[in-house]
Amino acid sequence: MFLILPSTKSIRPTTMRLLTFALSLLLSFSATAADSRSETETAGGKPNVLFISVDDMNCDLGVYGNEQVLTPNLERLAAMGVRFDNAYCQQPLCGPSRASIMTGLRPDTLDMHTLTHELREKNPDVITLGQLFRQNGYFSARAGKIYHYGNPSMIGTDGNDDPETWDERYNPRGIDSLQEDKITRSRSDSEGKGLGISMAWWDPVSEDSEHTDGMVADKIIELINQKKDEPFFLAAGFFNPHCPYVAPKKYFDLYPIEEITMPDLDEAKADLEDVPPMAVQRDTKKWPYFFDGVTVEEARKCKQAYYACNTFTDALVGKLLDALEANDLIDNTIIVFWSDHGYFLGEKGLWYKRKAFERSARVPLIIAAPGLSQGTVSTDPVELLDLYPTLAGLCGLAAPDNIEGASLQPILTDPENANWDKPAITQIWHSDKAWGYSLRTPRWRYTEWVEGTAGRELYDHENDPEEKNNLADSKPELVARLSKQLKPYIALPTHKRNQ
């Protein structure tokens, strides 16, 4: 069983069994062997992988220091492994981000920048992450959303899934999809429009397992029980907290509406005065909150609902961890928790994703690998496409030669002494006339729009973590240096650029 606790500070660290295992493992190998090993050694042979994804989740989480948002089970997971404080997606849009994660290739390499279902059409020979595990004797299965799905329009279908990735796949459909008519829309949303981009919410009195995500967790638990005696790669694809924001009422009740605050809109508008127009071109016409007529109170309600969805998802993560423990698999399972991109909730008057700012590019990422670092934090900039070589290496599998990420194993082994110097790259593509790239180093975020011809941005995260002051015009030498560092990553195909 798991509990939603009133304070995230009261969560216990990882179980004594895991600590005992880690200690015995460290004592049984020399430091040299630990540094040189190419895979995670476990007591049960080949390590399993539990691959947990969420949709549109930013880092407004208790596990990342926002004490308002209750995430006791993510804190439980972080105590078992490494929390990455500066992890970034390759494009803040579901389709290309997820394709990049599952192939270890950048959106430019895949030639995928939209929500179109075209992974195999454009890359017929690509070996996806789950496919690699299948080829090496693992049972590979998913429940829910791993590749892009329209939410809620594609719930219950295979969406834009890749069948070659999986031995089995499951598409549950809960009341959040079956009873869309009960979802409350803001006044900006017309009844004839889909809910995939919407300011809408619902808090039914319901059980977790009545919802699609609850069914996803139940199916993965069933598969854990069934496959506990063979190596598995199981992917739990949660749709929350993607809009429409739907979760059982008990999670809404944890967030009284009077405790939900919104940024001052005058201050928010001032934040955009020194930003190139292309950086927010999708947002300025109907600013604030993306849609015409959305009130501050409606935005506040959506933020409450978003927080409720995060805690609902956290509870389901707890159920998955409980299932691993019940089957004595914690000591032999690599657990990864990730979101496909970040999300705005009114900061700068913005909502949703598809922006090169930190709140849109940065994602929660937690990895617990048996025998490696526990309860530690990494501040190095890392990329989601690094997950492919990391999991392949930890499991002793040979990844394709062309993958573009780098293994996170040095960080997982010793976050403080990993000697990590790779930047994180996030790109935006709206059209052949509107695109850009953003480079994140430990201190700076530097962004170019159409290679600088449509503007530049530079933010000092040491002194300006909210990216309020664009320093691009005042630091030409630094801009030149970061532009040179970014240049090798600008590889947009010629048919997608008009210069």
* Distance, CA of 345 to CA of 464 (rounded, Å): 19
Find the catalytic residue in 59, 113, 148, 243: 148
Using alpha carbons, select from 352, 357, 451, 429 the residue that is nearest to residue 113. 429
The answer to whether 91 and 100 are in contact (CB under 8 A) is yes
The conformation of residue 195, written as its DSSP 8-state character, comes to S
Residue 345 β-bridge partners: 351
| C-alpha distance across the termini of the chain, in Å | 58
Has 148 been annotated as catalytic? Answer: yes
Residue 83 β-bridge partners: 366, 377
Across 466-491, b (16+ Cβ under 10 Å) vs e yields ebbebbbeeeeeebeebbeebeebbe
* 3-state SS class at 480: helix
Beta strands in 73-152 (DSSP E): 82-88, 139-144
Residue 71, exposed/middle/buried by CB under 10 A (0-12, 13-18, 19+)? buried
Find the catalytic residue in 89, 94, 302, 309: 94
Using alpha carbons, select from 287, 339, 286 the residue that is nearest to residue 310. 339
* 3-state SS class at 29: coil
* Distance, CA of 65 to CA of 68 (rounded, Å): 9
Residue partners of 252: CB distance under 8 A and separation at least 6? 203, 304, 305, 308
Residue partners of 250: CB distance under 8 A and separation at least 6? 4
Has 113 been annotated as catalytic? Answer: no
The conformation of residue 174, written as its DSSP 8-state character, comes to -
Task: Enumerate helices (H) and strands (E) in the chain, giving the number of each.
Answer: 16, 18
Residue partners of 124: CB distance under 8 A and separation at least 6? none
Q: CA torsion 338→307→319→94, rounded to 10°?
A: -30
Would you please indicate which residues are annotated as catalytic (active-site) residues? 94, 148
